[in-house]
Structure 1
């Protein structure tokens, strides 16, 4: 979407269009991936969704949802993936 930003994942959940922000973190000072979604970031994601919908034909019958996919990378072992539905 140019200088405004980017949408990491666009998907469907039945009749709902889902736009996902993907954040990856290691344990440490930056905290959990969800901590990266500030009020300003959520506002920007909503604006990106509006621009995407304007470009590609508007919302589907089920509407639009903005989700977070958080990936936590531990020092050892497998990554933990968390899906938070409906950020805004």
Structure 2
């Protein structure tokens, strides 16, 4: 039998590139990245970070298309509910108490001509998107 070649999942690769940009941005803010791509059967948290005594759960939305003006527009109310639910699960496994928890969105637009050129990526940070 012939060997099959798998085509790279470009959508997944775009997402990974965006998460790398977001993690670097967050580290540049002086925050500590505690977890990346934390999964349960109910969903996934892209980035979990500490900003001092504030736990920040970050949804990363990346696009290399013109689908949305700002990729954050793709975060639905259902996604925000899922983030809260999965965050409760993550917290239940932690020893530390967080007096403040905030949900942010970091949206990344990659350059259409060369999505792999991260120097040309643009970023928008939306803070406190869930009460």
Shorter-chain TM range is 0.7 to 0.9
1:74 to 96, 111, 118: 111
- 2:28 alignment partner in structure 1: none
2: distance between equivalents of 1:59 and 1:44? 21
Residue 128 of structure 2 is aligned to residue 86 of structure 1: yes
The CA deviation at 1:58 is 6.0
CA RMSD of the aligned region, Å?
1.7
Q: Rg: which structure is higher?
A: 2
Contact 1:9 1:20 in 2 (8 A): yes
1:52 to 81, 90, 94: 90
Contact 1:19 1:67 in 2 (8 A): yes
- Structure of greater relative contact order (alpha carbons < 8 Å, 6+ residues apart): 1
Structure 1 spans left out of the alignment, 5+ residues? none
Structure 2 spans left out of the alignment, 5+ residues? 1-38, 114-118
Q: Secondary structure at the match of 2:88?
A: helix
Structure 1 runs (4+) deviating above 2 angstroms are 74-77
- 1:1-80 aligned at under 5 Å gives the runs 1-28=39-66, 30-31=67-68, 32-57=70-95, 59-61=97-99, 63-76=100-113, 78-80=120-122
